[in-house]
Amino acid sequence: MRQLDSTASSHACERFLCEVWQTGPDHPPLAGDVVKAMADAGSYVVGAFDEADGGDRLLGVCIALWGPPSRPGMHSHVAGVHAAARGRDVGFALKLDQRAYALENGVDRITWTFDPLVARNAHFNLRKLGGTADTYLTDYYGPLSDGLDSH
């Protein structure tokens, strides 16, 4: 696990997110300059790297924002694992690292959104992470133009 806080790593994160979310390079889920700004502002911006590949190949990323002062917490905005790394607990390792980061910073609550209609998402978020769902929001983000959310 490494912080993605350099300009190069932020843009590598942008390319990674385009690949995982199956978007074109003109429509990244998060632009590299935004990833860099989030990292510089103290948000959780971390990548999991393949040590067997010299430690340069991204296997997964996780990005979270700090919540508003009136409700201290962290909101996990995006987390993704490369298809070739699925089943290796990369996402779980990222989430455990995110949890440790939140606790180190005095926060014991992390929120996030996920699509419960995708069985893999529901299993990971509710069973593996032990999360709870208290609200079902339809069309929360509006139309998404990526290869994963086309339903």
pLDDT tens, residue by residue, 21-49 = 999 888 999 999 999 999 999 999 999 99
Of all helices (H) and strands (E), which one includes residue 34?
Answer: helix 32-40
- 3-state percent breakdown (helix, strand, coil) of the chain, nearest 5: 35, 20, 45
User: What pLDDT was estimated at residue 43?
Assistant: 94
Place of tokens 């989430």: 95
Q: What is this structure's pTM?
A: 0.85
- pLDDT of residue 106 exceeding 80, the answer is yes
Q: In whole angstroms, what is the distance from residue 148 CA to residue 140 CA?
A: 15
User: What pLDDT was estimated at residue 151?
Assistant: 44
